[in-house]
Structure 1
């Protein structure tokens, strides 16, 4: 006789298994078949339970056992996360490789997410005393996880009471109890790690407005379409436009304390390339390896499609955990379109009524569940701290069609939109962000930060640059018909300055170290030189100087070379020399 916690397979349809005789709750984790494949209940219809299986279902047959665990799909959160590479079920891939001696993950394999044998040095919070009342979010101690990340051990959400005992400084396993909280007759043992359901947003005290920009090192984003800490952004683009490279660059160079990179259904060679480069890279602000502040979740295209959803929610849960410590976290998902394709496949196998282009009707709400977990917040507990989680998702519309459902669904929830252009990519203009289609709704929030950094010049300079680029687009049709030489001199100047903005400011090379990452001060110095040149040239044109002569000036070449210099060199003497050369050359032209 079957227990209430077990049932039998009724039907198998790829990653979807229908079980009967099971009495589960929604989103409960179940073990399917003799090998105990991990699955999740996604629908209950009468006595039939529809299970999304996160491993290969080849060989499963009706009648095999299905066991309910009574638990939701959860993440283990504690020391050992940083520097790890997980699959969509938070199984450490390095450990799996050591066990299986194979490049593929064996199905049914169960491995702890955190190393149970490694000891961590725990240092208790000195201001916290036994007998004090504690609540969720209180920091009880610290673990130096890497040289640049201090892991703060917190009271888990939902736990409060009197601190009855706290461990002394020393080495402990993640499963060791380091504090005991008592409330009435119940006691709760606080360990170095905690478990949290990945579909449930972690609680916080208050949500704050955006304020400070998240510097990414990419000038087209930082200067023209800024992204705020705690913001939401999408990077849509067709095949070959550079989505993955752009996301990798943002993850590498962003001014975030913690970076979480989720490869959701992407090609294995792309994930391999990202991992290889991260292992070699140094953090430019801390001069330490990038892996000492990064977490990778690799769910490649040859893995079961259902696990793409878990990889996205696992990544955002890990991001929220570090956010609760008071860190600025960036989480990148490449790409949400692969996740949407997995939803479409599962929905089709469940025989649900399809929406537009076959995607399920709940596509938009699932995207909202993901993006709405971003934000800049005041955390629970003491000491009071502010943390942020910034979410950036790539979207891969077929044929670069931005009117398809995933792009349109994403646009509803993001506030920065970086549209990648195939035409720019074919001209080797990277990052291939189309400045006419892209936008940021964070400009009004970050303008005070930028204006303070640039002596109130950023807002006006950015506005001038955008007007020049828009005017260039208006003139492009005329140029195609009559050629640039038929234009009046002021329009010729507009085209020349637009080319300077495109090539000398917005275009970057990931292969030149001094240009791959550009700090905000450097962005502004380049723009200031271009605007200074533009103002002088505009006056010169009004005095009858032809644009052909202006184009040949030495200062034009000096501006083009500015992006290849370091910020220290620019601030030292190069920027001053560029401005002096502009002044001198235009004075000579006007004599």
Structure 2
């Protein structure tokens, strides 16, 4: 009988097969003589539709298609960290060794190094009863991260045979497990998992601990929890990638997964260069020792861009299952949505708003819902925090991707073009941004930093809101007609904006600021406000208070006070008291 599994039609990255009954929905397939990686995304009585994750140039009707019998999956095991993959988990360093700077089509390189020996410590014995998620072996993956090999989530049974401690390759059999049906399963150091299926957990927990980033505007005004979700929307040049770089470098997650989804190639090169040169503040080792990069740049096949987000979140879930706190940076989900739109157009689906497919909201929710703080199957706690950049065209936050992302994230860090062009970084607009994690996180802040921190945050927010209203009046009639108490609010708000919210990523003391220093900085600014307000009430002109030079000095305290010498803040408070008391006495 003639083989029916041949290409019938080709439309960009979409390939059709006619009159075939060989494939199942979401099955991974190999397309054409070069065996390009693809996935079945549609089945009718006449046609099977396949999405190809590689460049289809030169593909012809009549070429064969080979099924694998399994869904699109990734290989999970030691060797993922300190590696850079493309959107379908091909290691780019090893691909480059094989085919040069550009990925050859049909490049068949295993995701993990199959020849590397790992120093494995066995954690179980013969006769032990194991269930899904249980750890049966450990090996040091990098100097910072210990890799824990777990029983696949859907498997359980009794250990029939196990090797001793020693050096093994990823595909070596470590133990044999007999399930309840008497079938023997050979477990190695690695396992496979379909990228579109969330890995199961024992229980979802409430998010009660903040992800500390060292960025004042985030930690103080718009905090995110471990296991939380955040969106960073902003137009071209507002600093989305730079903000994500800062978060990736400094946040207190154990592992960072950075997905460059449809970004410019030079930005991914910058990530590589910066991360390899930067030392991790917690361990003193290079940042790459706890980082995974997934590079799917704008010139790579558009379908693989759609898969890269799922690849990244599946890797994150795997390390979460070991008990690690993982932060995933998706840069940017708009490029991912554009890939959805392009593929949807080729499939001739009915477009919804702005040409995006009608299922855009459900795809976004599928992605963001895989975040969370959880109790794993092996009773450890782990979390995935998702921080997704959004690139609305023309900084229009009313476009579909931004609006739908707002529905599924609880943190919204809106980047402002005007702030970015004024060189104010991070360019997070304090009037448009919000965080819904205050009620979850306030008990933690109160316990670790005291009630004063929460009180200072409310006061700072109030001053910024008042300034925003006053600036509307100033635009109409100028600032000279304002009474001195309102002029003082504008001055203190400028102090908060420039001295507190603005942060220098290239300054050793300012690139990362511990929470205790953030609290003391607010204390000094608000103390100056309180004392100045007393003078203004006593009819002292604001110009006289400004002549003391206190405002200029306090703007620079973020640079002048080292992060490990917070006692110097007491000198600033004393200086404010002395200088303003002297004015009152005179």
* TM-score of the two chains, using structure 1 as the length reference: 0.97
User: Does the C-alpha gap of structure 1 residues 568 and 472 become closer, same or farther in structure 2, counting only changes over 3 Å?
Assistant: closer
User: Does the C-alpha gap of structure 1 residues 451 and 2 become closer, same or farther in structure 2, counting only changes over 3 Å?
Assistant: farther
Q: Secondary structure at the match of 1:75?
A: strand
Shift of 1:564: 1.6
Residues 521 and 567 in structure 1, CA contact (< 8 A), matched pair in contact too? no
Does 2:307 correspond to 1:310? yes
2: distance between equivalents of 1:340 and 1:455?
A: 43
Shift of 1:548: 1.4
Q: What pairs with 1:341-352 in structure 2 (closer than 5 Å)?
A: 341-352=338-349
Shift of 1:435: 0.6
Q: What pairs with 1:332-347 in structure 2 (closer than 5 Å)?
A: 332-347=329-344
Does 2:98 correspond to 1:104? no
Shift of 1:543: 1.2
* Alignment gaps of 5+ in structure 1: none
Q: What pairs with 1:205-244 in structure 2 (closer than 5 Å)?
A: 205-244=202-241
Shift of 1:385: 1.1
| Superimposed CA distance per residue, residues 467-524 of structure 1 (whole angstroms, 9 cap, x where no aligned partner) | 1111111111211222212101111011011111111111011111211111211211
User: Which of 384, 390, 393 lines up with 1:389 in the alignment?
Assistant: 384
2: distance between equivalents of 1:206 and 1:32?
A: 40
Corresponding position of 2:434? 439
Corresponding position of 2:6? 8
1: distance between equivalents of 2:555 and 2:347?
A: 57
1: distance between equivalents of 2:270 and 2:415?
A: 21
2: distance between equivalents of 1:223 and 1:22?
A: 58
User: Does the C-alpha gap of structure 1 residues 203 and 566 become closer, same or farther in structure 2, counting only changes over 3 Å?
Assistant: farther
Q: What pairs with 1:175-574 in structure 2 (closer than 5 Å)?
A: 175-183=171-179, 184-381=181-378, 384-565=379-560, 567-571=562-566, 573-574=567-568
2: distance between equivalents of 1:504 and 1:46?
A: 66
Shift of 1:308: 0.7
Does 2:576 correspond to 1:579? no
1: distance between equivalents of 2:463 and 2:139?
A: 52
Q: Secondary structure at the match of 2:176?
A: strand
1: distance between equivalents of 2:544 and 2:150?
A: 66
Shift of 1:114: 0.3
Corresponding position of 2:122? 124
Q: Which piece of structure 1 moves more, 477-486 or 30-39?
A: 477-486
Does 2:91 correspond to 1:95? no
User: Does the C-alpha gap of structure 1 residues 566 and 391 become closer, same or farther in structure 2, counting only changes over 3 Å?
Assistant: farther
1: distance between equivalents of 2:278 and 2:127?
A: 46
Residues 519 and 567 in structure 1, CA contact (< 8 A), matched pair in contact too? no
Q: Secondary structure at the match of 2:28?
A: strand
Residues 513 and 563 in structure 2, CA contact (< 8 A), matched pair in contact too? no
- The alignment's C-alpha RMSD in Å is 1.2
2: distance between equivalents of 1:193 and 1:541?
A: 69
Shift of 1:2: 4.4
Q: Secondary structure at the match of 1:496?
A: helix
User: Does the C-alpha gap of structure 1 residues 153 and 72 become closer, same or farther in structure 2, counting only changes over 3 Å?
Assistant: same
Q: What pairs with 1:64-79 in structure 2 (closer than 5 Å)?
A: 64-79=63-78
* Alignment gaps of 5+ in structure 2: none
* Runs of 4+, deviation exceeding 6 Å: none
Q: Which piece of structure 1 moves more, 393-402 or 157-166?
A: 157-166
User: Which of 128, 134, 139 lines up with 1:138 in the alignment?
Assistant: 134
| Superimposed CA distance per residue, residues 348-406 of structure 1 (whole angstroms, 9 cap, x where no aligned partner) | 1111110000000000100011000000000002xx21000000111101100000000
Residues 561 and 568 in structure 2, CA contact (< 8 A), matched pair in contact too? no
* Equivalent residue pairs, number: 583
1: distance between equivalents of 2:217 and 2:293?
A: 26
* TM-score of the two chains, using structure 2 as the length reference: 0.98
2: distance between equivalents of 1:563 and 1:167?
A: 56
Shift of 1:166: 2.5
Q: Secondary structure at the match of 1:514?
A: coil
| Superimposed CA distance per residue, residues 114-171 of structure 1 (whole angstroms, 9 cap, x where no aligned partner) | 000000000122xx43212110111112111111111111111111011222221110
| Superimposed CA distance per residue, residues 95-118 of structure 1 (whole angstroms, 9 cap, x where no aligned partner) | 011111x21111111110000000
1: distance between equivalents of 2:448 and 2:363?
A: 38
Shift of 1:565: 4.5
2: distance between equivalents of 1:388 and 1:189?
A: 29
User: Which of 7, 17, 20 lines up with 1:19 in the alignment?
Assistant: 17
Q: Which piece of structure 1 moves more, 54-63 or 227-236?
A: 54-63
